[in-house]
Amino acid sequence: MSPIGIVGTGSYVPENVISNEEIAAGAGVTADWIKDKTGIVQRHRAADHEATSDLAAEAARRALRQAGLTADQLAFVVVATSTPDHPQPATASIVQHLIGAHRAAAFDVNAVCSGFLYGLAVGVRLLGDGDGSGGDPAARYGLVVGADIYSRILDYSDRRTAVLFGDGAGAVVLGPVPTGLGVIETALIGRGDQHRLIGVQAGGSRAPASELTLAEGGHFFRMEGRAVREFVQRELPAAVGGLLERARMPAGQIRHFVPHQANGVMLAEVWPELGLPNAALHLTVDQHANTGAASVAVTLDTVHRRGALGRGDLVLLAGFGGGMNIGAALLRWALDRPTEPLGVPEFGEDDPAVEHLASWGLLSSAVQR
């Protein structure tokens, strides 16, 4: 069997841009407070007619187009989301229909903000074990999408959550790559004893929707921010270290680190603890905020389209979120740098986000002037 790697990337964020000023007053804070506490300058919000499947399908089309493939070459469609279109059917089934992936199996993964990494790990195993094609030899590729619309489940008076999130989708196409490239190792970690740190309490079988759950705000996303930060600072370095140890890969060889874009300040705090001396830390949190399961895939697509990732570079991906869960993947990049930027807007020299992130010394080579 050929090794499995990423053969195409794509992302989509809605056109509607929401500045810090537009949400600050409702949350009882200022625009500068949001930037100073999170590194976020703006985020994107889905239009009224857009559902999670719409964002996911557009990111999928872009990834397929980059890979030079058609949807009927897909063996499966995995959608990682915690904001599905409906409790059922799976959002992946809707995406499968929207993109015309008629041969593909379709299912959702809900590991909240770690979901894309969970989906990636599952997809690699389906293809790598030789049983991902459903018996169809023409279907040698798989699609993994992370997509969320958190704007629909936020309490905009809650400053702990209202300022952090945006909407978006990111996708990768998985398939055979040359020997020596592709996914090397993955890690999936669960800490279910801490599941109460992040969640939406109402709307499921434990607390079905009712007048009471609506009145109590049970359908809004809630998070214990300080405890989540402590979880990430404690668990993420251990997860990264364990992954590299199993892969027998020295930390100094990692060239790129693409993390979940939870909070820019939190990433600045945990970054030195990861021990990746030669890696570029790639951030898009200032422009897109936290897009949930989409954030790693959106950032990966952004930096690839800007030409930051070279063929053969070692890339480390990591997500963390509700559950509590951590997902990570180490891969040797299988795509060539684009000969010209692939439709990703560049940062302007006077962009305030650039100055703010540069003050931390955290800008990746993809965006630093």
Which residues are marked as active site? 113, 260, 290
**Are the CB atoms for 69 and 141 separated by under 8 Å?**
yes
293 vs 216: CA distance, rounded Å: 27
Token pair, residue 277, equals: 């001396």
**Are the CB atoms for 59 and 11 separated by under 8 Å?**
yes
**Are the CB atoms for 141 and 174 separated by under 8 Å?**
yes
Token pair, residue 286, equals: 């200032």
* Nearest alpha carbon to residue 95 among 82, 106, 81, 80: 106
Token pair, residue 86, equals: 């409906």
| DSSP count for the chain of H helices, then E strands | 12, 14
Token look-up 């992954």 returns 243
Gyration radius (Cα) of the chain, Å = 19
Burial status of residue 190 (CB atoms within 10 A of its CB: 0-12, 13-18, 19 or more):
middle
Phi-psi region of 289 (alpha: psi -120 to 50; beta: other; left: phi over 0): left
* Nearest alpha carbon to residue 264 among 302, 229, 305: 229
How far is C-alpha 248 from the geometric centre of its chain's CA atoms?
26
